[in-house]
Amino acid sequence: MRNFEYARAADVEQAIVLHGRDANTVYLAGGTTLLDLMKLDIIRPARVVDIHKLGLDKVEPLPDGKVRIGAMVSNTDLARHAHIAQHYPVLSESILSGASTQLRNKATTAGNVMQRVRCGYFRDGVSPCNKRTPGAGCAAIDGLNRNVHAVLGGSPQCIAAHPSDMCVAMVAIGATIHVQGPNGTRDIAFADFHLLPGDTPWKEHALEPDEMITHITLDAPMPGSRSAYLKLRDRTSYQFALASSAVILALDGNTMRDIRIALGGVTTRPWRAPDAEAVLRGKPLSEALIREAAVAAMAGAVSYGQNAFKIPLGQQAVIRNLSRLTA
């Protein structure tokens, strides 16, 4: 562990001042990712700003049907919150499918949104990795890429899959990320927050260096909807998704009135699948239509040898979830 300066902020404004635009300063929330990467010597902060005392730990249902979630709400408190469990079951299920109870007790909502990839080449500190060292190359392209590497949204510069389950549910629900910096506040649509790797895989999100997340607001629930999160993995405990799907739908009889589908495990960022939604929306359900939607969800997928199985597995994540919700 390298030496670093520690500072505790009393409010949001002080936290922003303490952080500034210094790339060597980081915020300490739950620490479940930060401390891990510091121990691996992947992140080497000169200063750590503790933001535990900022009062950003409330889940607040709003009059317009939306829900405002503080950045410091723990994953456990969010998943177990009565309003979330009742009106956003897909979100509750996604959070409870990830990590362990102990980690969920510490991990925070904003920390989950900001967590880094689990690619072994990124985390080993020595292999070529464009996320860690821009221009170094991507060892995963021709290397071990079965488990935590994507078939959708990748580029020749990076194919690391986004690790979050919670974010897959949030991009299906629809949400807004509220951030604050020295120039005031601004809102970022959740679907636009995480960036595709493209030619700049080290740029993972739309947050400016001197900004911090303060809240996330979920869109109001789809009227008359049901929802579920399905996670496919090698084992059912403490494992990242090989493929996952978050599905929210509303039926009129046997006709799909509205539908939202998002994917995880197979993608480089939380991935909404509008082409798959368009296949289903306004049409009578059938097994053949569900399979057509699953194929559309994975359209454009590119495999890299060992992770080729993720293309049919991603389709199965959609098929099984849709079939269960409409049974």
pLDDT over threshold 90, residue 237:
no
Contacts of 253 (CB under 8 A, 6+ apart): none
Q: How many residues does the chain have?
A: 327
Mean pLDDT score, 84-96: 98
Radius of gyration of the chain (CA): 20
The domain tally of the chain equals 2
Final residue of a domain: which of 29, 52, 75? 52
In a domain, 162, yes or no: no
Give the whole-angstrom CA distance, residue 247 versus residue 262.
7
Look at residue 297 and tell me if it is in a domain: yes
Q: Which stretches of the chain are DSSP H helices?
A: 12-19, 34-39, 75-80, 82-87, 89-96, 101-106, 109-114, 120-123, 166-173, 190-193, 274-280, 287-297, 310-325
Query: What's the average model confidence in pLDDT over 76-91?
Result: 98
* Number of CB atoms found within 10 A of residue 10's CB: 11
Classify residue 21: in a domain, yes or no: yes
Cβ contacts of 63 within 8 Å, gap of 6 or more: none
Measured distance CA(95)–CA(111) in Å, rounded: 13
**CATH code of the domain covering residue 291:** 3.30.390.50
DSSP state of 11: S
Q: What's the pLDDT tens digit per position in 290-308? A: 999 999 999 999 999 999 9
Q: Which residues share a beta bridge with 261?
A: 247
Containing domain of residue 312, as a range?
Answer: 228-235+242-326
Q: Which amino acid belongs to residue 197?
A: P
What DSSP line would sit under 220-249, residue for residue? PPPTT-EEEEEEE-SSSSS---SEEEEEEE
Residue 202 inside a domain? The answer is no
Evaluate whether residue 309 is within a structural domain.
Answer: yes
Average pLDDT, the chain: 97
Quick count: other Cβ atoms within 10 Å of Cβ 9?
21
Share above pLDDT 70 across residues of the chain, in percent, rounded to a whole number: 100
Is residue 1's pLDDT more than 80?
no
Question: What type of residue sits at position 18?
Answer: L
Q: Does 31 map to a domain?
A: yes
- Residue 138 sits at the vertex; the CA angle it makes with 137 and 139, to the nearest 5 degrees, is 115
Residue 299 lies in a domain: yes
pLDDT digits (tens, 9 = 90+) for 114-142: 999 999 999 999 999 999 999 999 999 99
39, with CB counted inside 10 A (0-12, 13-18, 19+), is: exposed
In a domain, 138, yes or no: no
Q: What is the rounded distance in angstroms from the CA atom of residue 42 to the CA atom of residue 252?
A: 51
